[in-house]
Amino acid sequence: HSSPGGGGSGISSKHNSLQQQERSSSSDLAPRPSSTSNNSNNKGNEDMYTRLLNSENEYCELLTLFRDQYLKPIKEDSQQAKPLFFPRSEFQKLGQFLSNIDAFHGLNSSFRDALKVGGVEGVGTVLEQFAPLFKMYGNYASDLPFVQECVESQSQTNERFAQFLMQ
């Protein structure tokens, strides 16, 4: 599967930037060797907590950017008598996927806020509370190939949509 913004399609420099930020933030979660073997577990826990919190902050910012710069205009366009981006029938199929982005934003914002409140000592409890809620990403992942196909198809056949992605 080729992803939107990937390969030779040249869909969006903005989307490529989002993907690069996501990759760089996920690499921040990789365990780092401690400088001395005598460091307490507490220091390691604090480092991991800081990386997790930073990653959640960045992810929430990316979801906000994606929602505001892509989803809102696409949803607004779908309300027009003659949508420019997606035929109405195709947009209806995309609707659930698009609403998931708002749900993810809410979930991850709550998760991030709970991490802040719980601090280092509360990470385990917060993860335990939120783990069942993160299962909703499974449906998102199963719908992703369809969405990628729609975006790729529209970007190749609909010049206005391709220009919108390039902004």
Predicted pLDDT at 109:
96
Contact assessment for residue 107 and residue 140, using Cβ atoms and an 8 Å cutoff: no
Q: How is residue 95 written in tokens?
A: 């609707």
3-state DSSP percent of the chain in helix, strand and coil, to 5: 80, 0, 20
pLDDT at 117: 95
* Other residues' Cβ atoms within 10 Å of the Cβ of residue 72: 12
| pTM greater than 0.85 (yes/no) | no
Residue 83 is which amino acid?
A: P
3-state SS, 36-77, equals: CCCCCHHHHHHHHHHHHHHHHHHHHHHHHHHHHHHHHHHHHH
- At 101 the pLDDT is 87
Q: SS3 for 38? A: coil
User: What's residue 136's pLDDT?
Assistant: 87
Contact 118, 126 (CB under 8 A): yes
pLDDT along the chain (167 residues), means of 10: 39 47 48 49 88 95 92 88 84 79 92 95 95 88 86 91 88
> In the prediction, which pLDDT does 15 show?
46
